[in-house]
Copies of this chain bind each other. A is one copy, B any other.
């Protein structure tokens, strides 16, 4: 409601500590010994560890040791581990955003956005492990929201419709990012992609899926399609593209319906 200009201190008080730190709103200390570390350094090291050994390996001890300090020293910079996770998540959301496209290329623009978001999951498989505690409010996360809104800017939609579409696209990207992550993780854990897709379980499923209890699934298990026996016909990449094109078609239908009904309303 209010259009007040708040001071940075006032803004910092409203936001959760992690977000306030992300916006650089922590005022540097005025007294005491010189700091030997920095928030950026800690977050960078934490991301490095998570990339290499996964999120469970990111302990306060591990980060501090890697930097040559004790675990407790980190608490002079970041109030809690949850806040650190928020900062890590925002740090890796600092992705390059491609040049804007003309409005008629909105489908390609949305594809770029979804693929870009899925890319974060590929590069940092722990991205999806950090719990979502609310709508994005950190700087790089909001830049990604801004990116998603780009192709919608000049469309005949109200703000809520735009946000619904952004949610649809970002949710889709998240789903496939996490699916891709789960596969990468299973592969890295020694299990093969075939194991994940269920190829190893084909024989077992053929014995367990009875047509009486699973009338619709039964033929698909028997044909081998469920466990992806013809790998070239069924890959995750294909599934991702397939679903995305259906969603884009659905958005297109909405736009068509919206513009024609606007035209008829004009006639009234």
Which residues does A use to contact B, with CB under 8 Å? 1-6, 11, 14-15, 23, 131-135, 137, 139, 142-143, 145-147, 149-150, 152-153, 158-165, 167-168, 171-172, 174-176, 178-179, 182, 186, 195-198, 200-209, 213-217, 219-220, 223-227, 229, 233-234, 238-239, 242-243, 245-251, 253-254
- Which residues on B sit within 8 Å (CB–CB) of A247? 168, 246-247, 250
Chain B residue with Cβ nearest A170: B175
A231 → B minimal CB distance (Å): 11
| Contact of A203 with B4 in the complex, beta carbons under 8 Å | yes
Known contacts A159-B220, A250-B249; A175 and B186 CB within 8 A of each other: no
Chain B residue with Cβ nearest A243: B168
A23, A132, A150, A204 — most chain B CB neighbours (10 Å): A204
- Which residues on B sit within 8 Å (CB–CB) of A203? 2, 4, 6, 11, 14
- Which residues on B sit within 8 Å (CB–CB) of A2? 203, 206
A128 → B minimal CB distance (Å): 10
